[in-house]
Structure 1
Amino acid sequence: MKLKLGILDQSPVTKGEPATTGLTNSIRLALLAEETGFHSLMYSEHHGVEAYGSSSPELLATTVLSKTKRINVGTAGIMMRNYSAYKIAEWTKFLGALYPGRFILGLGKAPGGLKDAVMALNNHKPVILSNMETKLEEIIQYIKEEKGIYEGLIAQPSHLQAVPEIVWLGSGMTSAKEAAKHGVGYSFAAFMNSDSGSENTEAYLKEFDHTQYTSASSLQVAVAVSVADTLKEARYNAYGMAYQFLQSRQLINPEALHSSEIVERKIAGSEMEDEFFTILDRIIIETPQSISQRLQHVSEHYDTDDILILSNMHKEENRINTYKHIIKNNQ
């Protein structure tokens, strides 16, 4: 089965290089994705983090939409706690009007940064964390122009021919059930939590409410991947990405990508060593000859043909080659 392959691009920054290089690389990767046949591009949101160059996925998505003609482009995701439902709905409809059928609004509940960044984004006020599902409901009301909190208030532009796709990001059962309840797509972050993934995705598909935002379920699974000529090389290339995942799990702002050699020295004999290799083992490590079969297995395991690929490498050429090998072997 031919898969719908997408790219999850965090605009990774390499140690010693300016953050603008990560953004430039994102544009180049987008043009390659359009040319080679990827189905979608999704951009993440991070604040006050050295590791990633993009703090505004909606702006990066807009730029890429203007430079491409076919590929679907979206956010993975907008960190909802930092913005009003009304403003999110406004620019979502704006992009939906300019690029009908191509913009995807991916929404997440994570902060997108540590405490200081979140406080700064919220005008130095503590964030209320319990209203994320309510905010999703408000966004849907504004996009569909239904009666909401403010009677008669419309998010412009109005009367779109078709509502933009909404995807709810998550890695747990709660997010899966919320996506199903509101009839929106669900993007499961398997690279963060693959232990109970099939239970979450099964719940989404089983409980999806076809009478809500859209009538058809849309399940996507995001995985981290490294592909190289040998398994040893592919595994070694993934060290920088695994180290960033490790820092995130420890609630430390991830650093820019280190070389595999430096990561090896950092973790050797440290208290982080066992956890690092546990995380590394969750990354899909394959050769060009085996990657297609492995992704097919992921597809069958989660019962979806929509696979989102994350690949952060210290050397940009290794990241590009991973994506090239993936799409070439999915023809």
Structure 2
Amino acid sequence: MKLSVLDQSPVSKGSTPIEALRETTRLAQETENLGFHRFWVSEHHSTKSLAGSSPEVLVSHLAANTSHMRIGSGGVLLPHYSPYKVAENFRMLETLNPNRIDLGLGRAPGGMPNVTRALAGGNSMGIDNYSEQVNELASYLQGEDPERMDVRATPLGSTIPEMWILGSSGASAMIAAQRGLAFSFAHFINGYGGTNVVDRYRNRFVPSEFNETPKTNVAIFVVCGETEEEAEYLASSLDLSILLIEQGKSGEGFPSPNEAHHFPYTVFDKERIRENRKRMIVGTPEQVKEQIEELGHIYQSDEVIVNTITHDFQSRLKSYKLIAEAFDLNGKR
């Protein structure tokens, strides 16, 4: 099984975005050495808790500071942008780093409605034409002129980025299937019905110049500790963070386990935490390995993307190291 990384550049309380992005860079270097397959970064806007607002810029930096791991976006929120410009950005990245770049696409807003307006220069934008945008972008990546304007995305080269559609629902899966693109299911966003979504993607997949057969992976939150107690202690921060986001109270940064321990949870809060655990794997290396393998089995996917968020960076890095050791990733390279 391949294991990969999704990093959202979390900003912990008491830390800064500068530190968060330095940690993302270090994490890419360390997980490359540990044997992880790919490293994706996300796009979020106008938030104090996540520093990654421009994945294409961060991808360029990470690719320059690693040597062989695949680096990509998880993902670029295409409805905000020109497909032509996105194609040029990632053709440039691919030209600089041949056979190493992934272009993952999402259709979420990445922030509140005012963020969408700001990204669109004051104009309102919707997702009604997302499928058409995906098709146009795919054509530009292939060196075509989809609008018949005698325009091609440059630089032209012999390789193109791997193109992925990211989603947590059936709509994105169908777009990926119809265009013959790879599909990544965000189990860490939606812990329900993902296997049915991926099954429909496979059943409706149309072979393309990108993929002859369906290609999938699944992303999930994972917190690994040497003991169950350590893992639960570290994961309490993530429990509280998700809860606060659901309540529109994302606050000034990622909370600490100490804050989580003293938080005045209501009965409803505790029930939401139990439900949200369906989006997470928490435990010892042996427990995490077993559950990741089971996740891959039920999704019939040979790649799982691990998204680990803890309050302090060393615990985050340790979690990935424990997972790599459990799977003997270096021994499989």
TM-score for the superposition, normalised by structure 1: 0.94
Task: Please tell me whether residue 190 in structure 1 is matched to residue 153 in structure 2.
Answer: no
- The corresponding residue for 1:49 is 47
Q: Structure 1 208/55 Cα, relative in aligned 2: closer, same or farther at 3 Å?
A: same
C-alpha displacement of 1:60: 1.0
Task: Please tell me whether residue 132 in structure 1 is matched to residue 130 in structure 2.
Answer: yes
Task: Please tell me whether residue 231 in structure 1 is matched to residue 228 in structure 2.
Answer: yes
Report the AA paired with residue 6 of structure 2. L
CA contact (8 A) 2:191 2:278 kept: no
- The corresponding residue for 1:67 is 65
Task: Please tell me whether residue 144 in structure 1 is matched to residue 142 in structure 2.
Answer: yes
- The corresponding residue for 2:242 is 245
C-alpha displacement of 1:195: 1.4
Query: What are the superposed Cα offsets for residues 116-137 of structure 1, whole Å, 9 maximum, x if unpaired?
Result: 2221111111112211111111
Task: Please tell me whether residue 221 in structure 1 is matched to residue 218 in structure 2.
Answer: yes
Distance in 2 (alpha carbons) for counterparts of 1:247 and 1:180: 35
Report the AA paired with residue 28 of structure 1. R
Task: Please tell me whether residue 172 in structure 1 is matched to residue 179 in structure 2.
Answer: no
Equivalent of 1:7 in 5, 20, 26: 5
Query: What are the superposed Cα offsets for residues 133-152 of structure 1, whole Å, 9 maximum, x if unpaired?
Result: 11111101111122312431
Report the AA paired with residue 237 of structure 1. L
- Please say which of residues 226-235 and 55-64 is displaced more in the overlay: 226-235
- The corresponding residue for 1:275 is 272
- SS where residue 307 of structure 1 aligns? strand
- The corresponding residue for 1:99 is 97
Q: Size of the alignment, in residue pairs?
A: 328
- Please say which of residues 201-210 and 269-278 is displaced more in the overlay: 269-278
Structure 2: gaps of 5 or more residues: 329-333
Distance in 1 (alpha carbons) for counterparts of 2:302 and 2:159: 24
Report the AA paired with residue 44 of structure 1. S
- The corresponding residue for 2:18 is 20
C-alpha displacement of 1:261: 2.4
Task: Please tell me whether residue 119 in structure 1 is matched to residue 117 in structure 2.
Answer: yes
- SS where residue 132 of structure 2 aligns? helix
How many percent of aligned residue pairs carry the same amino acid?
A: 30
Query: What are the superposed Cα offsets for residues 17-38 of structure 1, whole Å, 9 maximum, x if unpaired?
Result: 1111100100111110111111
- The corresponding residue for 2:258 is 261
Query: What are the superposed Cα offsets for residues 143-197 of structure 1, whole Å, 9 maximum, x if unpaired?
Result: 1122312431111112x21221101000011111111111111110011112101
Report the AA paired with residue 239 of structure 2. A
- SS where residue 272 of structure 1 aligns? helix
Query: What are the superposed Cα offsets for residues 93-113 of structure 1, whole Å, 9 maximum, x if unpaired?
Result: 111111111100000000111
Distance in 2 (alpha carbons) for counterparts of 1:155 and 1:111: 25
Q: Structure 1 209/283 Cα, relative in aligned 2: closer, same or farther at 3 Å?
A: same
Report the AA paired with residue 122 of structure 1. A
C-alpha displacement of 1:250: 4.0
CA contact (8 A) 2:34 2:324 kept: yes
- The corresponding residue for 2:87 is 89
Distance in 2 (alpha carbons) for counterparts of 1:214 and 1:277: 38
Report the AA paired with residue 123 of structure 2. K
CA contact (8 A) 1:244 1:254 kept: no
CA contact (8 A) 1:13 1:256 kept: yes
CA contact (8 A) 2:106 2:167 kept: yes
Distance in 2 (alpha carbons) for counterparts of 1:236 and 1:279: 16
Distance in 1 (alpha carbons) for counterparts of 2:145 and 2:23: 42
- Please say which of residues 280-289 and 60-69 is displaced more in the overlay: 280-289
Query: What are the superposed Cα offsets for residues 31-56 of structure 1, whole Å, 9 maximum, x if unpaired?
Result: 10111111000000111111111111
